[in-house]
Amino acid sequence: MSAEKFAVLLAMGFLSPMLFAQSELRDKADPLISAVEGSVVAWRRDIHEHPELSNREFRTAALVADHLRTLGMEVSTGVAHTGVVGLLRGASDKPVVALRADMDGLPVVERVDVPFASKVTGTYRGEQVGIMHACGHDNHVAILMGAAEVLAGMRESIPGSIKFIFQPAEEGAPEGEEGGAEMMIKEGVLENVDAIFGLHVGPAPLGSIGYRSGGLMASSDSFSIVVKGRQTHGAVPWGGVDPIVVSSQIILGLQTIISRQLDATLTPSIITVGKIHGGVRFNIIPDEVEMLGTIRTFDSAVRQDIHKRLVLTAESIARSAGAVATVTIDSGTPVTTNDSRLTALMAQTLKDVAGEDKVAIMPRVTTAEDFAFYQRQVPGLFFFLGVANPDDPDPAPNHSPYFYADERALPVGVRAMTYLALDYLERE
């Protein structure tokens, strides 16, 4: 819409002065977004070709920090090990909105045939592994670097301040280390922040945006169950207590927590046993079995209820067979919960970015995101950006060695982060 038409509608009372101010800010941002598109693609390819594991994002952090410094921001490095935070002061100090991108790759050998495919290897849990941006964090970093350049180019017009958070270790800190969003918060990245926005790329239609109010992504907890029996000959099972049979009964019993003990109308929930280990020989019943698994749900009360029922189920089944089950539950990532007021406030912004026909309220996702920790402290909105190639009938999911992000979606991401920051600051 032209400025002249806006002025006419404003005079007639069809538009608010706030909407007109937002349009002026967007009009300033749009040519800057177009100008930075080539750089965003170049950054994305560079980061994709040089992925780094959690808490080891040294090269990526240096690239980001140098870029933010050239934009004249106040830059903090070494936050939560390798995190980078840039503060852009606009026309006023308050309010403050934060934009977040995660930087780490995964221990995955890339199978995508592109010129900038990763050939990087590293050490993960004592093993030599390939490293790939199989979750798309390279796109997140490049998008936020682009938004930073756009917003820095119009700082005099920004009614507030913007904090750019480049976070390490979203995929989880190495064993024995802290990291990720929790550690970033401990080290003060949310100080004075009024709201936070983040995005994640995924194999949805190119340039589409998916969001929902409330619980978007599941909580993620891990558990260990060690079943202690009594070793005996495989031909004489009555001479001992078979922890393998007991473990089998426990696995089936855990599924009844979801299917028969929880109110199915409340929220989706999952208990998965992903690893079971016990025994060394075909004709020896071992002393013990260890199981490892995960718990996913979308409600904090249900989450705690599952924890209690899991312990009770495992211990009781083991006791009934003369064995002992020791259960350890490690609480991980909470539910990624979009603030209802903030989501309602910014929904139209997302539609303006991608187009009404490309924005939808999406179903819940049972994967997890440590962006949830930020949302526990300040109102937050997290959304998904579709990066699937339209010519691919079966795009690979995140974490696949074949995951591919179509770069034509990157300008949509830059525009989304830019508009969200500007519209929020103007409205607040």
The two tokens of residue 427 are 């409205």
Residue closest to 287 by CA, chosen among 203, 213, 227 = 227
Query: Does the pLDDT at position 4 exceed 90?
Result: no
Q: Where are the domains of the chain?
A: 3-215+335-427, 219-333
pLDDT at 251 over 70: yes
From residue 119, give the alpha-carbon distance in Å to each of 83, 169, 381: 24, 21, 34
For residue 372, which amino acid is it?
A
CB 118 within 8 A of CB 49: yes
- Choose among 389, 396, 416: nearest CA to 211: 416
Q: List CB contacts of 392: < 8 A, sequence separation 6 or more.
A: 404
DSSP-based three-state secondary structure for 112: coil
At residue 15, does pLDDT exceed 60? no
- CA-CA-CA-CA torsion for 223, 224, 229, 230, nearest 10 degrees? 180
Q: Which residues pair with 276 in a beta bridge?
A: 291
- Assess whether pLDDT exceeds 80 at residue 28: yes
pLDDT band at 11 (very low <50, low <70, confident <90, very high): low
C-alpha distance from residue 182 to each of 59, 82, 140, 178, 337 (Å): 22, 14, 19, 8, 16
Cis peptide bond prior to 205, omega within 30° of 0: no
The predicted model gives 398-427 an average pLDDT of: 98
Residue 1 has pLDDT above 70, yes or no: no
Taking the C-alpha atoms of residue 317 and residue 247, their distance in angstroms, rounded to an integer, is: 9
Cβ neighbours of residue 101 closer than 8 Å, sequence gap 6 or more = 137, 140, 141, 143, 144, 164, 165, 166, 167, 198
Look up residue 174 and give its DSSP letter. P
Domains 3-215+335-427 and 219-333 share a fold: no
Q: Is 50 exceeded by the pLDDT of residue 256?
A: yes
Cβ neighbors of 163 (< 8 A, separation 6 or more) are 85, 86, 87, 88, 96, 97, 98, 99, 189, 193
Give mean pLDDT, residues 327-356. Answer: 97
Query: Residue 349 above 70 pLDDT?
Result: yes
Q: Which two tokens stand for residue 104?
A: 């780490």
CATH number for the domain formed by residue range(s) 219-333: 3.30.70.360
Task: Answer yes or no: is pLDDT of 23 > 90.
Answer: no
420 pLDDT above the threshold of 90: yes
With residue 160 as reference, give the H or E element that holds it: none
pTM of the full structure: 0.92
Q: How confident is the model over 161-216, as pLDDT tens digits?
A: 999 999 999 999 999 999 999 999 999 999 999 999 999 999 999 999 999 999 99
* pLDDT score for 21: 62
- pLDDT score of 8 more than 80: no
How far is residue 51's CA from residue 107's CA, in Å, rounded to a whole number? 10
- Per CATH, the number for 3-215+335-427 is 3.40.630.10
**Does an H or E element contain 280, and which?**
none
Nearest of 87, 129, 82 to residue 107 by alpha carbon: 129
- What residues form DSSP beta bridges with 292? 224, 275
Q: How far apart are CA 245 and CA 117, in angstroms?
A: 46
Average pLDDT (130-138) is 98
HEC readout, 381-412:
EEEEEECCCCCCCCCCCCCCCCCCCCHHHHHH
The pLDDT, as a whole number, for residue 10 is 47
Looking at residues 334-358, what average pLDDT do you find? 98
pLDDT, tens digit, 9 for 90 and up, residues 117-128: 999 999 999 999
Q: Around Cβ 93, how many Cβ atoms within 10 Å?
A: 11
Mean pLDDT score of the chain: 95
> What is the three-class DSSP state of 194?
coil
